[in-house]
Structure 1
Amino acid sequence: MHTYVQDLLFEEAAEIYKFIVLEKGHFYVCGDCKMAEEVCQTLKTIIQIYGNMNDNQILSFMSSLKESIYL
């Protein structure tokens, strides 16, 4: 049986949301592009659910996360 990062994220979804959104934390992913995209999609889903965000709000938030690493 394999353990995937995405599964671990969902297990800790409330904490992930708290750290990233409420506490303005950072999230870094190391690995291949396919895995990173799947983790990004999982993170997006968690934030959208716990933040009760619509599609436009989540896209804007995810863009701001990506932009913040370059500041």
Structure 2
Amino acid sequence: MRATEALSTTQWRKSSYSGQEEGEACVEIADGVTGLIPVRDSKTPLAPNLAFTRNAWSTFVGSLKNDSTPTV
């Protein structure tokens, strides 16, 4: 199964750090996609999304928590 096919039926969840009001900055991720962390903008769900490896996502999120520039 191709990744795009898997994402067409996946459940997305909104980041707890995203705004809760309509039109605010909203990041969603999808769980359950083997080997990838899919990420999209909830305001444009049909637009292309990003997919990170688990290691790259962990590095990215860790750098945000530490307020530093990620090195992947």
**TM-score computed with the length of structure 2 as normaliser:** 0.31
Q: Which structure's relative contact order is higher, taking Cα pairs within 8 Å and 6+ residues apart?
A: 1
**TM-score computed with the length of structure 1 as normaliser:** 0.32
Richer in strand (by share):
2
Richer in helix (by share):
1
